[in-house]
Amino acid sequence: MAPRRPRSAGALPKTARPGRVGKPKLVERPATQPAEPDELYAALDLGTNSCRMLIARPQGSQFQVVDSFSKAVQLGQGLETYGRLSRSSMARTVQALQICRRKIDTHGVKRMRLVATEACRRAKNARDFMRYVRRETGLPLEIIAPEEEARLAVISCASLVSPKSEQVLVVDIGGGSTELVWIDLEDVPPGDRARAIMRLSEGFNQPEGPIPAARVVDWISVPLGVATLKDQFADVEDDAARFALMSWFFEEKLADFAPYASGSPQEGFQIIGTSGTVTTVAACHLGLKRYDRNRVDGMMMTSAQIDAVIRTFLQLGPAGRRADPRIGRDRHTLIMSGAAILQALMRVWPTDQMSVADRGLREGLLYAQMAGDGMLEEME
């Protein structure tokens, strides 16, 4: 018998709303009006577990981060059970978005892209939530489709693609879903590969042009991320058994992914992993007492190194992971479901290493906006 849904689940909070900042309204600049050279851009990613934002300015072929925000809001808490966003999760999220709004106002940001992903795609009351967000914060939040989420993750990793790579698999492990995109670069000259990948921001099927586009062999959005996969197996008490079941369950979801069915090459093949799971595993491998993005972003990890870290997590157990500062308070309950996804990926494709990317949807949003405005120099 399915559990009864509490009356308050999914209802919009009617209590006093602290920090309401619905005015003045944000005005999105028309696309025809050119950007100024020193103009700031904002990118916000509202996922199933976290709300994260970057404010940055263009700098050469990259960008310089001016301000940032990250908060575990657990927007998707209870979504697997009830199919709706709960009252408490919506309230937590709006409080975080109000902070983002204040940062946007403080920096005078006018060019922005603020998106929501899997939790809002799936929730029955997503429209009510979006109206609530607009009323309380004035932010132009939009729900994007899985394909666009996958494209943005891919272009954020363009500069990490090796000149020797002819086949690239980009994996973005989120809170509510995992996106995988298989790219064929065999016909693209090594010097044009970053630009060829950037062209995918316009769509996965690009026409011929002066700059060749990377060919997308296949892509998939698996509706399982660190939060939703954990919820699927919450009733399994044994820690090791739960981890094994999660890993095999995720692998089953890849059966229709074309590269999975046909196998993958050893030579010229690169996996790029982007997510909090991947960067946490990398930081634990390095033994970092304090996270250092400069050491993590772009590093390589072998399958043996990844397995060693995961074995350490299993040996720690739930209590040990909770107390381990390398994992962090916001991630200790989710790290094993993320590790289960990561282990499945490394088991499926015959490669012994993964490129670690501390970047993802927010960075892709910034690149796409700045490139669309002609504010970035061409990537080499």
CATH code (residue 196): 3.30.420.150
15 and 140 belong to one structural domain:
yes
More confident call, 8 vs 367: 367
Domain count, the chain: 2
In a domain, 366, yes or no: no
193 and 319 belong to one structural domain:
yes
Cβ density class 146-162: b for 16+ within 10 Å, e for less: bebbbbbbbbbbbbbbe
**Where a domain ends, among 78, 109, 144?**
144
CATH code (residue 1): 3.30.420.40
303 and 320 belong to one structural domain:
yes
In a domain, 121, yes or no: yes
pTM score, whole prediction: 0.84
| E strand or H helix that includes residue 46 | strand 41-46
204 and 234 belong to one structural domain:
yes
Confidence of residue 24 (pLDDT cuts 50, 70, 90): very low
254 and 309 belong to one structural domain:
yes
- The rounded distance, in Å, linking the Cα atoms of 239 and 312 is 13
Q: What is the pLDDT of residues 44-96, one digit of tens each?
A: 999 999 999 999 999 888 899 999 999 999 999 988 889 999 999 999 999 99
175 and 261 belong to one structural domain:
yes
112 and 216 belong to one structural domain:
no
222 and 130 belong to one structural domain:
no
pLDDT at 262: 57
Query: What torsion do the CA atoms of 111, 112, 113, 119 make, to the nearest 10 degrees?
Result: -160
Could you tell me the residue range of the domain that residue 115 belongs to? 1-144
Q: What is the pLDDT of residues 153-178, one digit of tens each?
A: 999 999 899 888 888 999 999 999 99
**Token pair for 290:** 């304090």
249 and 287 belong to one structural domain:
yes
**Where a domain ends, among 144, 165, 184?**
144
In a domain, 54, yes or no: yes
**Token pair for 198:** 């950037």
